Amino acid sequence: MESLKTTTKDRYQQYVMGTYAPQMLLVKGEGAWVWDDAGKKYLDFGMGISVCNLGHCHPAVTEAIRRQSGILVHTSNLFMNEMQPLLAEKLVKCGFDGVAFFANSGAEANEGLIKFARKWGNPQGKNEIITMEDSFHGRTLATLAATGRAKYREGFQPDMPGFKQVKFNDIEALRNAITPQTAAVLLEPVQGEGGIIPATEGYLTQVRALCDEKNILLMFDEVQCGVGRTGTFFAFQNYNVVPDALSLAKAIGNGFPLGVMMVRKPYAGVLTVGAHASTFGGTPLACAAGCAVIDALQDGVLENCREQSRYLMEKLQTLAKRFPCVKAVRGKGLLIGVVLDGPASGLLPILNELGMIALTAGETVLRLLPPLIVNREECDLALEIIEQGLTKWSASNGG
């Protein structure tokens, strides 16, 4: 009899579009751990790309999904459902005084931000959006145009007009790029896909002041760095800079698809009835998952994130001193990048072999995204595996 892996692989090859090339078959997850079809256990420091922040199959989220799926799954937004405004209220209470629009993914939430900025700017003759080099905002045509890395746009020309990129963390570059047509600045407070690059202290304060001076909207893409990942619910709370609008997705459903655009109260009336819509956005089921995620985060999870972050960062810095192939360790909270002197993709199978899952960011950065509920023993194990992995990786690179 053929193995589950063989039949699954065959089905992928025959029936699934080849936009990804997955090699491992995962069958089960719990907390910081996943299992493959052969029963091998992996410490998961990828968490489905910063999605399962509460760990795999968090009991409270699983229970909320189970419960709500037996009550009411979908109504469309032509009807009210109890869960949607409840989640919006919880999000506001997490520290952003505004209103929410619900979508299903990060790209869709960012599309909402782009439409919001154009709707606000057009009556004033402003419809251009400035974004950052090395940024990532999604794979739809507008979010691709916003994305700083040109390689994602290759083959999909013409680019959607109305976007330009400037160097991140460089206030003069931004100042020079602003024109009377500039409606908004969109940026990730901590760049994820681009290489785990946090905004420098002071930069966001300067960007906020510049946007205020020029009457430009400041919008943060917190799809990857939001929902507790950096140790505060919103990443902007690390910087004490409040944007006019922001997007969340990924971890807000802990695996259940859910995206959110939020705008500050003074802008609540920009998108009026009929101006923007989504059939699935904000279903009772998705919002029940979102509510359970926010409730669970209140349970000391952010404190744990900050504590384990301090520990991991310190230990990784120490490790870096012993490995010349490690150029830097950077990040915020449990969004951590280990900058290497060569392509990081070669390290991933080595870590898999040793029983750990991690990701890359940019070309040379090992990206670590443990669940925010990770404990000290799991961090110690990860450090041990990374050390062994780096030894093998640098040897195979002739180092």
Ligand X SMILES: Cc1ncc(COP(=O)(O)O)c(C=O)c1O
Alpha carbons 278 and 100: distance in angstroms, whole number: 13
Place of tokens 């994602």: 152
Q: Return the number of the residue (44 or 193) whose C-beta is nearest ligand X.
A: 193
Alpha carbons 165 and 186: distance in angstroms, whole number: 10
Nearby residues of 366 by Cβ (< 8 Å), 6 or more positions away: 337, 338, 340, 344, 347, 358, 359, 360, 386
CB-based burial label for 101 (10 Å; 0-12, 13-18, 19+) = buried
Q: Return the number of the residue (241 or 335) whose C-beta is nearest ligand X.
A: 335
Q: Return the number of the residue (105 or 127) whose C-beta is nearest ligand X.
A: 105
Q: Please, what is the minimum distance in Å from the beta carbon of residue 82 to ligand X?
A: 26
Position with the least CB separation from ligand X: 106
Q: Return the number of the residue (244 or 378) whose C-beta is nearest ligand X.
A: 244
Using CB under 6 A, list all residues that contact ligand X: 49, 105-107, 110, 136-138, 188, 192-193, 221, 223-224, 249
Q: Please, what is the minimum distance in Å from the beta carbon of residue 138 to ligand X?
A: 4
Q: What's the DSSP call for residue 256?
A: S
Q: Please, what is the minimum distance in Å from the beta carbon of residue 105 to ligand X?
A: 4
Q: Please, what is the minimum distance in Å from the beta carbon of residue 143 to ligand X?
A: 7
Alpha carbons 117 and 272: distance in angstroms, whole number: 13
Q: Please, what is the minimum distance in Å from the beta carbon of residue 224 to ligand X?
A: 4
Q: Please, what is the minimum distance in Å from the beta carbon of residue 16 to ligand X?
A: 17
* Phi, psi (deg, nearest 5) at residue 131: -125, -175
Q: For residue 180, is the peptide bond before it cis, meaning its omega torsion is within 30 degrees of 0?
A: no
Q: Which residues of 126-154 are buried (b: 16+ CB within 10 A; e: fewer)?
A: bbbbbbbbbbbbbebebbbbbbbeeebbe
Alpha carbons 334 and 305: distance in angstroms, whole number: 6
279 and 257 Cβ atoms separated by less than 8 Å: no
Q: Return the number of the residue (255 or 371) whose C-beta is nearest ligand X.
A: 255
188 and 222 Cβ atoms separated by less than 8 Å: yes
Among candidate residues 336, 349, 339, the one with its CA nearest the CA of residue 393: 349
Among candidate residues 179, 199, 194, the one with its CA nearest the CA of residue 243: 199
Q: Please, what is the minimum distance in Å from the beta carbon of residue 260 to ligand X?
A: 11
Nearby residues of 96 by Cβ (< 8 Å), 6 or more positions away: 234, 242, 246, 262, 264
Alpha helices by DSSP H, the chain: 4-15, 47-50, 59-69, 83-93, 106-121, 141-146, 171-177, 203-214, 284-297, 301-322, 347-353, 376-396
Three-state SS at 210: helix
Q: Return the number of the residue (193 or 378) whose C-beta is nearest ligand X.
A: 193
Two tokens, residue 135: 């940024």
Q: Please, what is the minimum distance in Å from the beta carbon of residue 353 to ligand X?
A: 26
* Phi, psi (deg, nearest 5) at residue 36: -95, 180
Q: Return the number of the residue (223 or 386) whose C-beta is nearest ligand X.
A: 223
Q: Return the number of the residue (137 or 306) whose C-beta is nearest ligand X.
A: 137
Q: Please, what is the minimum distance in Å from the beta carbon of residue 299 to ligand X?
A: 25
Q: Return the number of the residue (144 or 379) whose C-beta is nearest ligand X.
A: 144
Q: Return the number of the residue (96 or 136) whose C-beta is nearest ligand X.
A: 136
Q: Please, what is the minimum distance in Å from the beta carbon of residue 229 to ligand X?
A: 11
